[in-house]
Amino acid sequence: MESPMIWEQIRADSEVAFGEFFNQQWQRCFSLAHTILQDQKQAEDVVQDIFIDIWSRRKSLELQNPEAYLTRMVKNKVFSTLSRTPIPEHNIELLENLLHQSSPEDQYILEELRVKVDQVVEALPPRCRQVYQLRRYENMSVAEIADKLGMSIRTVENHLYQATRVLKNKISPITILLIIDRFI
C-alpha cells in the first residue's frame, strides 16, 4: 500500500496501518540515524521516539510525503541528540570518509573542517600533540606510544584525553552535524 493511503488510515486510528507504515519505514530511518550517530542504541532510540511522536500526533499531522517528513524528523532528532552529547572520535573519522565520496564543492567544505581540526591539533602542547598524532595518524597503540616516547601508559592516556577534550570543545557538534547533513 502506498504511503499516502496508509497515512490516511493512520489518521483514522488504524493500528494495523501504522504497523505496516512502521515496518516499511523503520529500517530506512534506522540506517540514516545509525550512519550519523554510529551508535546502534542511540539510533534505535531516535527512531523509536520518532514513531511514538508520529502516533501521538497522527490526527494533527497532514503529510503529503511521509518519507520526506520521516527523513527530516530523523535528521532533526539526531541533531538534537548530538547537540547534547560529546563528539566521539569516530564521527571525525566519518567526516574523513565522506571527504573521499563527495562532490568537489562538498570536498571543499570538508577540507575546511579538516583544516580547522589540524589547526586545533597544531595548537596543542607539543607532547600532547605528538601523542595524539601518533595515535590518530600512525595508529599506534597506547602501549606503543608509551614505549616510543618513554612515558607511562597513564601519561599517554592523559595526553589523549586532553587532546580529545580540546578537539570536542573547539569543534562544535553543530558544525559537524551541519556538514554531515549536506551529505545525507
Helical packing angle, 66-83 and 173-181, nearest 10°: 160
pTM over 0.95: no
Identify the CA nearest to 19 among candidates 36, 6, 38, 35.
6
Residues 72-109 have pLDDT tens digits of: 899 888 877 776 655 555 555 655 555 555 566 666 66
Q: What share of the chain is helix, strand, coil (3-state, %, to 5)?
A: 80, 0, 20
Given this model, what pLDDT does residue 148 score? 95
Boundary of a domain, candidates 35, 56, 83: 83
Which residue has cell 563527495? 102
Where is the domain boundary, 19, 53, 83? 83
Rg of the chain (C-alpha set): 21
| CATH assignment of the domain containing 97 | 1.10.10.10
Q: Are residues 100 and 34 in the same domain?
A: no
* Cα gap 138→90, rounded to integer Å: 16
pLDDT tens string 99-145:
555 566 666 666 777 787 788 889 999 999 999 999 888 888 899 99
139: left (phi over 0), alpha (psi -120 to 50) or beta: left
Q: Distance between terminal CA atoms of the chain?
A: 26
Q: Are residues 63 and 102 in the same domain?
A: no
Which amino acid, residue 67? E
